[in-house]
Amino acid sequence: MGELRLMKGNEVLAEAAIRCGCDGYFGYPITPQSEVMETLMASEPWNTTGMVVLQAESEVAVINMVYGAAGSGKKVMASSSGPGISLMSEGISYIAGAELPCLIVNVQRGGPGLGTIQPSQADYFQAVKGGGHGDYKMIVLAPASVQEMNDFVDLGFELAFKYRNPAMILTDGAIGQMMEKVELSDYKPRNTVDEIEKIAGNWATTGKKPGNRRNVVTSLELDSARMEENNLRFQQKYKKMEEEECRFEEILCSDAEYVIVAYGTSSRVCQKSLEIARSKGFKVGLLRPITLFPFPKKAIAKLAEKVKGFLSVEMNAGQMIEDIKMSVYEAGKNVRIEHFGRMGGIIPTPGEVVDELEQKFS
Amino acid sequence: MELIDIIKQENIVYKKSKVLNDVVMHYCPGCSHGTVQKVIAELIEELDLQERAIGVAPVGCSVFIYNYIEVDWQEAAHGRAPAVATGISRLNPDKFVFTYQGDGDLASIGSGETLHACNRGENILIIFINNGIYGMTGGQMAPTTIEGMVTSTTPFGRNAELNGHPLKITELIAKLPGTSYVTRQSVHTAAAVRKCKKAIKKGIQNVLEKKGTSFVEVVSTCNSGWKMTPVAANKWMEENMFPFYPLGDLKDDIKDEPASKN
Amino acid sequence: MAKIIGAVVVDEEKCKGCNVCVNECIHDVLALHKEVNSYGYHYSYMKNSDKCIGCANCGLVCPDTCITIYRAKV
């Protein structure tokens, strides 16, 4: 059993980074995630694990520091919230284009624009459809508890390095600010110079070795045929992610006539909704995507064979519902798919969700 | 004595550095980029830094610098090279990290990253090529375009009232506490190349000795963008650029210390 | 007194004929050839080889690093 603590989600992100052997964190303050960098600065990991923590002048600088450090084969991460992630999108595109691993956390707040500092899930499209320019995808992990905030830091790095691709933890202000019991991971040492050479020696800027080809980290390729080849390689990688990395949780789905699809904070609310709905005789289940990209298309398609309807519950105007519709359509099924969402930083209540279910499906 | 008796290995007094490869540079004839990049390669060889050097390439004409200098490189987004270099340098303090940037990259879109990296005193060398124009995109006005200078977006000459003033960013950088050495050089004559090489060498040594940011501006020509012959461009630079961008050291915090043995 | 003799060898295919080396040579050694290389550039060459002292100034200013310089005492 690992060390048990009562901690905020944001603090856990920092603690998990130190414990998983992260080499560097770059950040810029933004509500509701400022505790990540505050916790790191107070922990002074440079004195213990040697991890570097730097407050940059902007999110634009943050992501480019991540790009630089990731290019040298190090385990690096950044965290921010919607407006900051928008600024980082250029850099994320470069990181994806140069095929570098890194971990980015978006502790979502309500938008668009400056919006609100209250929790939201309105950056779903930005996270799973790209956000920056060009055809690229990120692995997107959606924690629903403070425990998963801990677990997904290490997992995020593991997947990022496995695919040499940026990974994102897409959470929100509620989980970032919430205090829960958490079992912290054990300390893992940072990669040594030799280990980095083994993992990344054939692509990272670790210094040209005598006689060896040098490494150039770039996303630029002016030859169209070769650029298309690069793109085809990226697409193959994303396809492999879809085949191998899809993660989800099913709750009470085996006998369900209706299935709620919800992730993160809204999935917690919906767990309570299941109880209420079932007490009223409504056979409802919950599918909780844990990876938003890759999206659990096959699980949805399988459920579509037997359920009468899906309700996508999101803290936005209806974004994930498009992926649910796509999953059902691609499986050649025809099931009713509805959306219920609250916006502006409002978290739906379990009762509201049940009311929606009753209105839309009875 | 016949030429054939002179042209022998043992009589070589000047040749291409081994750190510069055989790829023909894509620059226009007479472009200053080639000269500066040659100097950088020579210094990397002379200071035995090929295995420690990591360069950060900009966006602009010199984006392909990584095709010529035989060290590890990372290609940055437009203007972000100092942030990329910060990331590399902070996590790899044993490496020699440098950026190579043009005026649009460094002084316009990347002015924020440049000023803050210099102000933090990152242990990096920044080489700043100032030719007062956007070369790659076809000769538009740069932040450093001097007043009256004709570009494709200032067809009647830069007018401060309409286009704003030319930015002397090197003067700003010299005032920042994080920089230890800030200098302005050129490479249009052999004497200037020798001086510039000395300046870049000093910048490299400062970085190796962890003395903060070193910043070397090279006032340069873009003869294609300026629509002149290379020789005429050099003359125009002397007559028009140097009065506004005077050559010499703007800041040398460590000049009193004994010179390094390298 | 020993005399210094120099020689300049230009990589004709790499030379872009920018003329900067010709302009830099105060000994009037170099000129652009009336012939062109395969890229169509009038490459630099030693027009007056007897005047070269191997000062290396042409090599220093060459943006395409296509000049090698030799020097010998006779």
Band (B4; pLDDT cuts 50, 70, 90): confident
Using the Cβ of B9 and the Cβ atoms of chain C, whether some distance falls under 8 Å is answered with no
Strands B133-134 and B140-141: antiparallel
* Opening angle at CA A108, ends A107 and A111, nearest 5: 150
Neighbour tally for C9: CB within 10 Å: 18
CA–CA separation, A52 and A77 (whole Å): 11
**B6 vs C63: CB contact, 8 Å cut-off?**
no
In the prediction, which pLDDT does B253 show?
A: 87
Residue of A nearest to B57 (CA): A218
**B38 vs C23: CB contact, 8 Å cut-off?**
no
CA–CA separation, B199 and B205 (whole Å): 10
In the prediction, which pLDDT does B257 show?
A: 53
Touch between chain C and chain A: 3 or more Cβ pairs under 8 Å: no
**Which string of b and e fits A306-337 if b means at least 16 CB within 10 Å?**
ebebbbbbbbbeebbbbbbbebbeebebebeb
- Chain A positions contacting chain B at CB under 8 Å are 23-24, 26, 52, 54, 56-58, 60-62, 64-72, 74, 76, 90-91, 94, 98, 205-210, 214-220
CA–CA separation, A83 and A24 (whole Å): 22
List the one residue out of A268, A274, A260 whose CA is nearest residue A119: A268
In the prediction, which pLDDT does A350 show?
A: 98
Neighbors of chain A by Cβ distance (3+ pairs < 8 Å): B
Question: Which residues of chain A form CATH 3.40.50.920?
Answer: 248-361
Using the Cβ of B14 and the Cβ atoms of chain C, whether some distance falls under 8 Å is answered with yes
**B12 vs C70: CB contact, 8 Å cut-off?**
yes
Question: Which residues of chain A form CATH 3.40.50.970?
Answer: 4-183
Strand partners, A285: A259
CATH number for the region C4-73 comes to: 3.30.70.20
Using the Cβ of B232 and the Cβ atoms of chain C, whether some distance falls under 8 Å is answered with no
Set of chain B residues whose Cβ sits within 8 Å of the Cβ of C18: 29-30, 230-231
* Opening angle at CA A27, ends A23 and A33, nearest 5: 115
Cβ partners under 8 Å of residue B244, min gap 6: B146, B166, B168
Set of chain B residues whose Cβ sits within 8 Å of the Cβ of C20: 30, 188, 230-231, 234
In the prediction, which pLDDT does A1 show?
A: 82
Using the Cβ of C57 and the Cβ atoms of chain B, whether some distance falls under 8 Å is answered with yes
Cβ partners under 8 Å of residue A41, min gap 6: A53, A55
In the prediction, which pLDDT does A212 show?
A: 83
The superfamily in CATH containing domain A4-183 is Thiamin diphosphate (ThDP)-binding fold, Pyr/PP domains (3.40.50.970)
CA–CA separation, C18 and B235 (whole Å): 14
Which CATH class for the A248-361 domain? Answer: alpha beta
- Separation in Å, CA of B93 to nearest CA in chain C: 32
> How does pLDDT run across B112-160, given as a tens digit for each residue?
999 999 999 999 999 999 999 999 999 999 999 999 999 999 999 999 9
**Residues listed for chain B:** 262
- Mean pLDDT across B179-201: 98
In the prediction, which pLDDT does C3 show?
A: 87
**C63 vs B5: CB contact, 8 Å cut-off?**
no
> How does pLDDT run across A207-230, given as a tens digit for each residue?
999 988 899 999 999 999 999 999
**B30 vs C60: CB contact, 8 Å cut-off?**
no
**B193 vs C61: CB contact, 8 Å cut-off?**
yes
* Opening angle at CA A229, ends A227 and A233, nearest 5: 115
* C-alpha radius of gyration, chain C, whole number: 12
CB B147 within 8 A of CB B156: no
Q: For an interface test with A, which of B84, B113, B115 has the most A Cβ atoms less than 10 Å from its Cβ? A: B84
Band (B254; pLDDT cuts 50, 70, 90): confident
Set of chain C residues whose Cβ sits within 8 Å of the Cβ of B188: 20, 61
Using the Cβ of B90 and the Cβ atoms of chain A, whether some distance falls under 8 Å is answered with yes
List the one residue out of C62, C50, C63, C45 whose CA is nearest residue C8: C45
Residue boundaries of the structural domains of chain C: 4-73
Range list of β-strands (E), chain B: 12-14, 53-57, 72-75, 96-102, 124-130, 133-134, 140-141, 179-186, 213-219, 248-252
Band (B255; pLDDT cuts 50, 70, 90): low
CB contacts < 8 A (B, C): 100
- Mean pLDDT across B247-259: 78
**A65 vs B73: CB contact, 8 Å cut-off?**
no
- Separation in Å, CA of C21 to nearest CA in chain B: 9
CA–CA separation, C30 and C48 (whole Å): 7
**A68 vs B51: CB contact, 8 Å cut-off?**
no
Given a cut of 60, is residue B214 above it in pLDDT? yes
Set of chain A residues whose Cβ sits within 8 Å of the Cβ of B89: 68
Using the Cβ of B87 and the Cβ atoms of chain A, whether some distance falls under 8 Å is answered with yes
Using the Cβ of C42 and the Cβ atoms of chain B, whether some distance falls under 8 Å is answered with no
- Mean pLDDT across C64-73: 96
Residue of B nearest to C43 (CA): B29
**B1 vs C74: CB contact, 8 Å cut-off?**
yes
CA–CA separation, B36 and B233 (whole Å): 16
Q: Which of B66, B71, B85 sits opposite A218 (nearest CB)?
A: B66
Walk me through the domains of chain B, giving residue ranges and CATH numbers.
Answer: 23-252 (3.40.50.970)
pLDDT, tens digit only, all 362 positions of chain A: 899 999 999 999 999 999 999 999 999 999 999 999 999 999 999 999 999 999 999 999 999 999 999 999 999 999 999 999 999 999 999 999 999 999 999 999 999 999 999 999 999 999 999 789 999 999 999 999 999 999 999 999 999 999 999 999 999 999 999 999 999 999 999 999 999 999 999 999 999 999 888 999 999 999 999 999 999 999 999 999 999 999 999 999 999 999 999 999 999 999 999 999 999 999 999 999 999 999 999 999 999 999 999 999 999 999 999 999 999 999 999 999 999 999 999 999 999 999 999 999 97
- Separation in Å, CA of B106 to nearest CA in chain C: 22
**C65 vs B27: CB contact, 8 Å cut-off?**
no
**C60 vs B230: CB contact, 8 Å cut-off?**
no
Q: Which of C56, C58, C65 sits opposite B38 (nearest CB)?
A: C65
**A64 vs B87: CB contact, 8 Å cut-off?**
yes
